[in-house]
Amino acid sequence: MSDNHEKYRGIHPIVPTAFREDGSFDPDSQRRLVDYLVKIGVQGVAILGFLGEAHKLTEGERRDVIETVMDQAAGRLKVLVGVRALGTAGAIAQAREARELGADAVFAAPLTIQNDNALYTYYRELAEESGIDVLIHDFPENFTTILSPELIGRLANEVPGIVGIKLEEPPVLVKTSQVLKLAPQLAVLGGLGGVYFLEELQRGAVGIMTGFAYSEVLLEIWQLYTAGEHEAAARVFDHYCPLLRYEFQPKLGLPFRKHVFMKRGIFASDFSRSPGLKLDEQSRAELEATIRRVGLDLDPVVI
Amino acid sequence: MSDNHEKYRGIHPIVPTAFREDGSFDPDSQRRLVDYLVKIGVQGVAILGFLGEAHKLTEGERRDVIETVMDQAAGRLKVLVGVRALGTAGAIAQAREARELGADAVFAAPLTIQNDNALYTYYRELAEESGIDVLIHDFPENFTTILSPELIGRLANEVPGIVGIKLEEPPVLVKTSQVLKLAPQLAVLGGLGGVYFLEELQRGAVGIMTGFAYSEVLLEIWQLYTAGEHEAAARVFDHYCPLLRYEFQPKLGLPFRKHVFMKRGIFASDFSRSPGLKLDEQSRAELEATIRRVGLDLDPVVI
Amino acid sequence: MSDNHEKYRGIHPIVPTAFREDGSFDPDSQRRLVDYLVKIGVQGVAILGFLGEAHKLTEGERRDVIETVMDQAAGRLKVLVGVRALGTAGAIAQAREARELGADAVFAAPLTIQNDNALYTYYRELAEESGIDVLIHDFPENFTTILSPELIGRLANEVPGIVGIKLEEPPVLVKTSQVLKLAPQLAVLGGLGGVYFLEELQRGAVGIMTGFAYSEVLLEIWQLYTAGEHEAAARVFDHYCPLLRYEFQPKLGLPFRKHVFMKRGIFASDFSRSPGLKLDEQSRAELEATIRRVGLDLDPVVI
Amino acid sequence: MSDNHEKYRGIHPIVPTAFREDGSFDPDSQRRLVDYLVKIGVQGVAILGFLGEAHKLTEGERRDVIETVMDQAAGRLKVLVGVRALGTAGAIAQAREARELGADAVFAAPLTIQNDNALYTYYRELAEESGIDVLIHDFPENFTTILSPELIGRLANEVPGIVGIKLEEPPVLVKTSQVLKLAPQLAVLGGLGGVYFLEELQRGAVGIMTGFAYSEVLLEIWQLYTAGEHEAAARVFDHYCPLLRYEFQPKLGLPFRKHVFMKRGIFASDFSRSPGLKLDEQSRAELEATIRRVGLDLDPVVI
């Protein structure tokens, strides 16, 4: 097991940013979410990604979110911070801020430019000039940029600071194997709402970074799988599959997860900033019905 | 229930085109597939879609496929033919050929042009000048064109020949409700590998047109649901969910389905034309493991 | 000078398809256009490209256009035929038809797939299985596919049937030099309405294939340039630059050129098929004013 | 003439950000550029656009550029500041900073989202919450977002702070007329390197905001045109057309303009940040030859 594998194994929920009803950042809710994650025992928390509405925040709000989460985490779980900017300088500034505030790593979106040399330079400069561990965020559905396995392998093998990848280009399992063949030391984290988590583990992923609202389910699957209980892991995965599938719908992930967190008493509000789809009544009813069908609930959690 | 609902209700598997190992069309395998579908009792078969590799066939081969399927179907199930061309004239020619050869309907991809007026004109001319029922194929992942609910509603309400839609723009459930609110008489068929079939039915879809390899599963869900056995339908859907999910991966649907049909003795070969992903060993193993986990098999079918 | 350079040097106007007012193909107008091109002395004519509305024609109409032009050309100038299809089989069928009808070469659009291996295979199979000279049509603005200089060079050096390229990816001059460095034997033809024709020649293009309505202007520039009269060529180019610039506007090229051909008595109608921009009054007036400013006219030509 | 027309008429060069050879911001060069523009007499200067490499700067550098230009301009010409962010909050923060530092207006890129309602909300909130004049930057080639004439008209008519547009979606002249028909009070500024400046004026544009390196040429055309000397304006435009055309090549605009400013003694360096095309020798030679052919020079300017 490589150092990267050891450091980034496990469940790293990517979480929404909590807002009050008036749209301002709600640090109390954000702290409750951290406590909840600590309580269920996940290995890390990933903030300020696409799900975290990072692109809808000002620079000052970014800083607030990081400081709040760092303070509440207090070393009880790793903190990973999303980086996404229109150019290299902005990305480096974000990564440096994350390092200065004590984060463990950043997960960084590519530039919106389809040119392997430019992308290589971008990630290399980002890692070298920020001095913090960098995980590549490979999510073309939202970022439009395609990162080839060859480019990822080259970055992993030539740039010490590139330690992992949140891999979300479908078909994600085939790409997981391609990337690990080229760079076996890379920490591959699954994503895509956990919909392929069982097979991601079978392919060599060391964990997952995704927004699925019930992280305890992913944790159970991972604990069973890494304990060698492969059949039990599959049974648990299959059991929750209807919900994993339903909850992972493009554009609906954010309202679904904020709704669950609000109902469970973690977030005070399900407010999300525009632009973005609001939760319609029928989708809400379907979500709740699916949650109940797999035996979960929406009762307030005790933290 | 509108006439369109009545006519297009049920399961309409969209099927691959069978090739021999040398890459030529294999009518015997295609006929066996038709017989298999007739035997399990689905309502229709959809040929020459994207899954049918229609874009990789010559005009002559298109005709062969239609004639073969029409002859073997012999009125025992409906035949729907895919239409996709670079312009209106080519699409009309394909639709007319389908009508002349006796098909029940066409499902037609949009032009690759993001202009509502041009798209309206395209579909209107296609319907009026071909004289065959037209279902819109709404699948931006492959066709790139976005069809708004408003455009779909306008076409459905103003053009008599527009009878249905194979609706596959995510989030597909929200759009299903939006479209049916504007045009309740339209026959909405689900898609996307059946991954949302339960909720599609709840939202008002009258059936499905998708490539999931085990159509008998979709048929069972639909029969239970339309018989009012909603909970039983959900139980069956949830049971097969791990396979529905796994089998519906971008770029892998075609090799997966040809593999299943070959193993089950329906197709003589799993050959598919380039370009396209080939089935790697690990994906094959994962597919087969998932099939077995949900209690299905890959034994030769008795037709 | 390579054989390809020798064979494809000079001016090869890419021409619209002539329609009657009722939208049907007008062979008489198409023949007049051929005669006009023969009279002014260009080296070839390129039919059934994007400008030729090939994507709006049926297979039968394609054949009619080729036969009409071949018959009228009667060996007096080369005939190049556009190839564009949704897949390889359709493209090969088009190229074979062109060869069987006696055309000199095809210029072929790429598949709409961003994958170098698949594109290489496509062009190789197209050249090998059609048996006719193939020029690559590199025009990402309309076809969306990016062809890298490396891919073009590999095709040119490894596939004997790949003889040239109509190069239209901006910045077109830089790419011209890159491509010719990798494959100096390739016949590079300029495009983009002639807007960069002077520099294309300086960079090593052997001619041009474009739709600029006054081919006699391009011919004059080319004749001066190839006779070593570089300054005179630049003077002529600069003189007509206001028109070259104005006439080459996205979406307006087709209506502009049909308008000029109609006014000059070559086409009986300026009808073009939908979808497509129609000529508005102000654009028409601007075009005509610019034509007159550079000293050209719209009087009927004597053929 | 509307207030907007009056306020934003004339030439507003969009300018590069000056860097030293080590890549850091060079305020001295930036000040010289301002002085040069004041000397030739243009009406405004537009900083921090795409040409200004704004996406490659940190927040601190943005501020430095604005403060430097504001200080040097000292009311002698208008200052317009580019706004572009991943979301609304970031865009508002940039616009507020511009207002606080005394800028006259911002020109704002759209969000990268193809949804008219979301785009309307974005521009409305940007204008209302920043309190500074907003010009829409309509440049789909780089921003990918299409802004329909209807959306632009609605914004112009319903949101007082939307005062103008830098209109660069081809075919740009047709769209200019469409937009002005819907919102005649809007200040339309041309762009696209000045390639269509003559016709933009004829269509109702009140000026231009573009990066063409010789703003004195555009100023001469505009002065003649607005003085009613339409034929003389056309003669000047036609005379410089070879250079306008050559200088406006995708990806080369920035290195071309920095080269000219360096040769003319305005910028100390032609350094630009990656990613971006560097100036190759042949393009440099072509540029200089074209400059000389139209009678301009690269001699140091006296400021």
Question: Using one digit for the tens of pLDDT, what is the confidence trace for D206-245?
Answer: 999 999 999 999 999 999 999 999 999 999 999 999 999 9
Q: With beta carbons under 8 A apart, name residues in chain C contacting B90.
A: 55-59
Average pLDDT of every residue of chain D: 97
Kindly report the length of chain C: 303
Determine whether the interchain pair D234/C277 forms a contact, defined as Cβ–Cβ distance below 8 Å: no
User: For chain D, which residues lie within 8 Å of any Cβ of chain C, measuring from their own Cβ?
Assistant: 170-174, 177, 195-196, 199, 202-203, 234, 237-238, 241-242, 244-246, 249-252, 277, 280, 282-283, 286, 293-294
CB spacing of A121 vs D274 below 8 angstroms: yes
Confidence of residue C1 (pLDDT cuts 50, 70, 90): low
| Contact flag B195-A245 (C-beta cutoff 8 Å) | yes
B90 closest CB neighbour out of C58, C115, C118: C58
What is residue D15's three-state secondary structure? coil
Half-sphere exposure in the Cβ direction for C7 (13 Å, CA): 17
Shortest CA distance to D104 belongs to which of D166, D45, D63, D54? D45
Is 80 exceeded by the pLDDT of residue D283? yes
What is the percent of chain D where pLDDT is above 90? Answer: 98
Confidence at D303, pLDDT banded by 50, 70, 90: confident
Strand partners, A105: A80, A133
Specify the pLDDT at position A73. 98
**Does the distance separating the beta carbons of C84 and B113 come in below 8 Å?**
no
Which of B220, B217, B218 has its CA nearest to residue B208?
B218
Amino acid letter, B61? E
For residues C12 and C165, give the distance between their C-alpha atoms in angstroms, rounded to a whole number.
12
Q: Which of D174, D196, D283 sits opposite C174 (nearest CB)?
A: D283
Question: Are the beta carbons of D56 and A273 separated by less than 8 Å?
Answer: no
Cα angle B272, B274, B279; round to 5? 55
Is C89–B57 a contact, with Cβ atoms under 8 angstroms apart?
yes
Residue contacts between A and B (CB atoms, under 8 Å): 74
pLDDT in tens, C163-185: 999 999 999 999 999 999 999 99
pLDDT score recorded for residue A279: 96
CB contact under 8 A, A280 and B199: no
Phi first, then psi, for residue B273 (nearest 5°) are -80, 150
Q: Report the pLDDT value the prediction gives residue C303, as an integer from 0 to 100.
A: 85
Whole-angstrom Cα distance, residue B50 to residue B84?
A: 9
Residue-level pLDDT at B237 = 98
The pLDDT of B134-163, averaged and rounded, is 97
- Residue D1 pLDDT exceeds 70: no
Contacts of C230-237 with CB under 8 Å at 24 or more apart are: C233/C198, C233/C201, C234/C198, C234/D293, C237/C197, C237/C198, C237/D242
Query: How far is the alpha carbon of B112 from chain C, nearest alpha carbon, in Å?
Result: 10
Q: Which helix (H) or strand (E) segment is A165 a member of?
A: strand A162-167
- Closest among D108, D122, D114 to D145, alpha carbons compared: D114
Span A43-64, mean pLDDT?
97
User: Tokens 């596919």, residue?
Assistant: C145
Give, in degrees to the nearest 5, the angle at Cα B288 between B282 and B289: 85
What per-residue confidence (pLDDT) applies to D2? 86
Contact A266, A299 (CB under 8 A): no
Distance, CA of C186 to CA of C154 (rounded, Å):
11
Look up residue A90 and give its two tokens: 């902005």
Q: What is the mean pLDDT of chain C?
A: 97
Q: Encode pLDDT of A87-106 as tens digits.
A: 999 999 999 999 999 999 99
* A1: confidence class by pLDDT, cuts 50, 70, 90: low
Contact D293 C234 (CB under 8 A): yes
Residue C6 burial (10 A CB sphere; 0-12, 13-18, 19+):
exposed
Is A93 within 8 Å of A122 (Cβ atoms)? no
Q: Which residues of B touch C87 (CB under 8 A)?
A: 53, 55-57, 273
In whole angstroms, give the CA distance from residue D135 to residue D84. 12
C266-297 residue pLDDT tens:
999 999 999 999 999 999 999 999 999 999 99
Task: Please write the tens of the pLDDT for every residue from A171-218.
Answer: 999 999 999 999 999 999 999 999 999 999 999 999 999 999 999 999
Distance, in Å, from the CA atom of B49 to the CA atom of A106, rounded to the nearest integer, reads: 43
Do C174 and D241 count as a contact with CB atoms less than 8 A apart?
no
Could you tell me which residues of chain B have a Cβ less than 8 Å from any Cβ in chain C? 53-59, 61, 84-90, 92-93, 111-113, 115, 117-118, 121-122, 273-275
Query: CB–CB of A237 and B242 under 8 A?
Result: yes
Q: What are the structure tokens assigned to C184, written together?
A: 């100096």
Q: What is the rounded distance in angstroms from the CA atom of residue D74 to the CA atom of residue D60?
A: 21
* Chains adjacent to D (≥3 CB pairs closer than 8 angstroms): A, C
Q: How far away is chain C from the Cα of D153, in angstroms, using its nearest Cα? A: 20
Predicted local distance difference test score (pLDDT) of residue A97 = 98
Q: What angle do CA C17, C263, C76 make, to 5 degrees?
A: 50
Taking Cα atoms as reference points, which of D276, D274, D262 lies closest to residue D29?
A: D262
Q: Are A5 and A185 in contact (CB under 8 A)?
A: yes
- Residues contacting C134, CB < 8 A, separation 6+: C95, C105, C106, C107, C108, C123, C126, C127, C161, C162, C163
How is residue A277 written in tokens? 């789809």
In three-state secondary structure terms, A50 is coil
Residue C79's H or E segment, with its range, is strand C78-83
Which tens digit of pLDDT belongs to each residue from B198-249? 999 999 999 999 999 999 999 999 999 999 999 999 999 999 999 999 999 9
Question: Phi-psi category of D295—alpha, beta or left, where left has phi over 0 and alpha has psi -120 to 50?
Answer: left
Half-sphere CA count of D212, side-chain side, radius 13 A: 30
Spatial neighbors of B69 by CB under 8 A, at least 6 apart, are B30, B34, B45, B47, B79
Gap from A280 CA to chain B (nearest CA, Å): 8
Q: Which residues of C touch D196 (CB under 8 A)?
A: 245-246
CA of B26, closest CA in chain C: separation in Å?
A: 16
Bridge partners of C14?
A: C46
Whether C105 and C133 have beta carbons less than 8 Å apart is answered as yes
Is ipTM over 0.90? yes
Residues of chain A above pLDDT 70, percent: 100
Q: Rounded to whole angstroms, what are the CA distances from C268 to C19, C26, C200, C253?
A: 8, 8, 34, 18
Contacts with A64 (C-beta within 8 Å, 6 or more apart), sequence order? A25, A27
In this complex, the residue of A251, A280, A293 whose CB is nearest that of residue B238 is: A293
- Residue B282 burial (CB count, 10 A): 15
* Cβ contacts of C20 within 8 Å, gap of 6 or more: C26, C268, C269, C271
Residues of C with CB below 8 A from D241's CB? 238, 241-242, 245
Global confidence as pTM: 0.96
DSSP D14: B
Residue B193's pLDDT is what? 98
Chosen for mutation from D249, D279, D288 (greatest number of chain C CBs closer than 10 Å) is D249
Tell me which of D17, D19, D53, D55 to substitute to probe the interface with A (most A C-beta atoms closer than 10 Å): D55
Q: What is d(CA A225, CA A231) in angstroms, rounded to the nearest whole number?
A: 8
Here the tokens at position D240 are 């410089």
Torsion of CA C184, C190, C192, C197, to 10 degrees: 120
pLDDT score of B89: 97
Cβ within 8 Å, pair A170-B242? no
- What backbone phi and psi angles, to 5 degrees, belong to B210? -150, 170
